[in-house]
Amino acid sequence: MTKKEKINTPSGLDKIHKLSIQVSLNGLSFCILDTISNSIVLSKQIAFKKDLSPYEIQRELKELLREYRVTDYGYSDVVVIHRNTLFSLVPKSLFDENELANYMKFNIKILANDMMAYDEIDLPELVNVYVPFMNINNYVYDLFGEFDFLHNGTVLIQALLQSHSDSKSPVCYVHVADDQMDITVLEHKKLKFYNSFYFDTKEDFIYYLLFTLEQLGLDPAQVGVRLFGSVKEGDELYDICYEYVSNTGLFYPSNEIYGSGESNDESIDFTVLNAF
């Protein structure tokens, strides 16, 4: 399967839409963009009560797309985003596409039948090696033909680098989605750190954040931490972060579909929107 080709669409349908689908063990989301009006036609995200198997996820995705008649639209582009912690960032200068398993085995436990893929991230000259949900890829291919797929870390890094101001001080962005947190630290328009963690409690959440800051030599009394995703001011994650990091605030992503300013449509996941 190639990463990106022309989409096969039923005859008679104008290909004026783009579709992004995000899959993870604990949830699903999708977004349909009208490329003429540059507006969101339809979006939906659901969270599971527990982590599902990849085949249970496929069943849920099939039902979600059926319920909202997603296949009724004509698409110029379809993107699938795989959200998991099964990835490894490799400097492009050291990358060899024949060594994917070796890059992964130092960070995660991989199985003999795991298929691996990679995304190139041009601005920081990195390659993101990861394990996609291949059964989801095969299912989407059956529906739409050739399509593009990415890891959510790739989308986060690229989108944050584009929107990050060229501040002299490092900024720690924390994206929260269900029980997963993605920490991205940027300084002078450069990527200083990226990693993703699963957490069960607010104590887990603050532990991963403070540990990251400590390892990077960043002072919690000085560094700016910006939270976004499924977190808001006054909830337990925001409050415990503010307790330990005085310069805590919310990050309101600027996007040409939303416009800019301190408002956001919380029903659309950041990575789903920025995959376009």
261 within some domain: yes
Query: The domain containing residue 186 runs over which residues?
Result: 166-265
Q: Which of 79, 103, 128 is a domain's end point?
A: 128
Shared domain check, 238 and 177: yes
- Enter the pTM of the model: 0.88
Instruction: CATH number of the domain at 203, please.
Output: 3.30.420.260
Shared domain check, 121 and 170: no
Check if the beta carbon of residue 227 is closer than 8 Å to that of residue 193.
no
Helical residues (DSSP H) of the chain, grouped into ranges: 54-67, 100-105, 134-144, 152-163, 202-215, 236-244, 270-274
Shared domain check, 225 and 172: yes
188 within some domain: yes
Enter the tokens of residue 136.
């989801």
16 within some domain: no
| Of 18, 163, 125, nearest in space to 81 by CA | 18
- The pLDDT profile of the chain, 276 residues, written as one tens digit per residue, is 445 444 444 444 578 999 999 999 999 999 999 999 989 999 999 999 999 999 999 999 999 999 999 999 999 999 999 999 999 999 999 999 999 999 998 888 887 788 999 999 988 899 999 999 999 999 999 999 999 999 999 999 999 998 877 677 899 999 999 899 999 999 988 899 999 999 999 999 999 999 999 999 999 999 999 999 999 999 999 999 999 999 999 998 776 554 333 334 455 788 998 998
215 within some domain: yes
192 within some domain: yes
- Please state the domain count of the chain: 2
